[in-house]
Amino acid sequence: MTLSDRIKVAKRTYVIGNGGSYANSFHIVNDLLSCGVRAYCLDPATLTAFSNDHGYEEAFARWIHIVGEPMDLLIALSGSGKSKNILNAVATAKSMGMDVWEEYGIPQGLNMQEAEEKQLKIGHEFLKCA
């Protein structure tokens, strides 16, 4: 099943990432919202609050545990594919019966610039639905 297919059948779509991938997650959510998809990112205030209270490695996992449900989709962005906070959120989402799309760059042989450019194509490709 393609990512576009997964987005279309998901009840809600959540997008997470760090650094440039975090910025890309907001861009992707904007693109998805433009197509009428219920898409969400963890806002900076809540991210820092969860990080302060539970540690940065658990911040996204904590959020997903609270808001996620089966039939939701998590899109996890990571240039390296090694970020513990992303991996923890992926594990949490899978344990809850959510669908997960992992977009990792370096494990696929991409450098960081190529990885982040590939991430932005997610939202742009989906805009074809409009």
Whether 110 contacts 120, CB under 8 Å: no
The better pLDDT of the pair 28, 126 is held by: 28
pLDDT, residue 129, reads 61
Q: Give me the residue spans of the domains in the chain.
A: 3-129
Longest dimension (CA), the chain: 40
How many residues make up the chain in this entry?
A: 130
- Reply yes or no on whether the pLDDT at 130 is more than 60: no
The pLDDT-based confidence of 47 (bands split at 50, 70, 90) is very high
- Residues 48-83 have pLDDT tens digits of 999 999 999 999 999 999 999 999 999 999 988 899
- Reply yes or no on whether the pLDDT at 1 is more than 60: yes
How much of the chain, in percent, has pLDDT values that exceed 70?
A: 96
* Fold of the domain built from segment(s) 3-129: Rossmann fold (3.40.50)
Q: List helix spans (H) across the chain.
A: 3-9, 20-34, 44-54, 59-67, 84-95, 112-126
